[in-house]
Amino acid sequence: MAGSTSQKELLTLIRDVSTEKSQGERRVVNLKRQIEELQSELDSVNSELEEAKRLKESTEQQLKGYEVEFAMNESSIQTIEARISSIQDEVSAIGSDLEAIKNEEGDLR
């Protein structure tokens, strides 16, 4: 009877070890799958991050271009305003000269 009990205990122990080994293997497989999924997620997020960086850089380049264009437009506006002011001065001077000529003409009549 003692041999039979010992044999049963040994078989139970073997079954328990086998069950634990099987569960451990399943855990390892599950953890490997989880690692693969996380690695895939990480790759995807890294790709999105790289795309966002490229978009940011492109947007910054566009902004710099707009800033240069704006500065050039500001300069053009100032130049045009100066020309308008100069033309207005000339028109005013010609108007004064014309008025003086009209006065002289009136005096001559």
What would the mean pLDDT of 64-80 be, rounded to a whole number? 98
Instruction: Determine if the pTM surpasses 0.75.
Output: no
Amino acid at the residue 65: G
The beta strands (E) that lie in the chain are given as: none
What local confidence, expressed as pLDDT, does residue 16 receive?
Answer: 85
Give the C-alpha distances (Å, rounded to integers) separating 98 from 30, 93, 95.
Answer: 99, 9, 5
Band the pLDDT of 8: cuts 50, 70, 90: confident
What would the mean pLDDT of 45-53 be, rounded to a whole number? 98
Tokens of 24: 């451990």
Q: How far apart are CA 25 and CA 19, in angstroms?
A: 10
| pLDDT tens digits along 18-29 | 888 889 899 999
Tokens of 29: 């497989």
The percentage of the chain sitting over the pLDDT mark of 90, rounded to a whole number, equals: 69
SS3 content of the chain, % helix, strand, coil (to 5): 100, 0, 0
Nearest to 18 by CA among 3, 30, 33, 26: 26
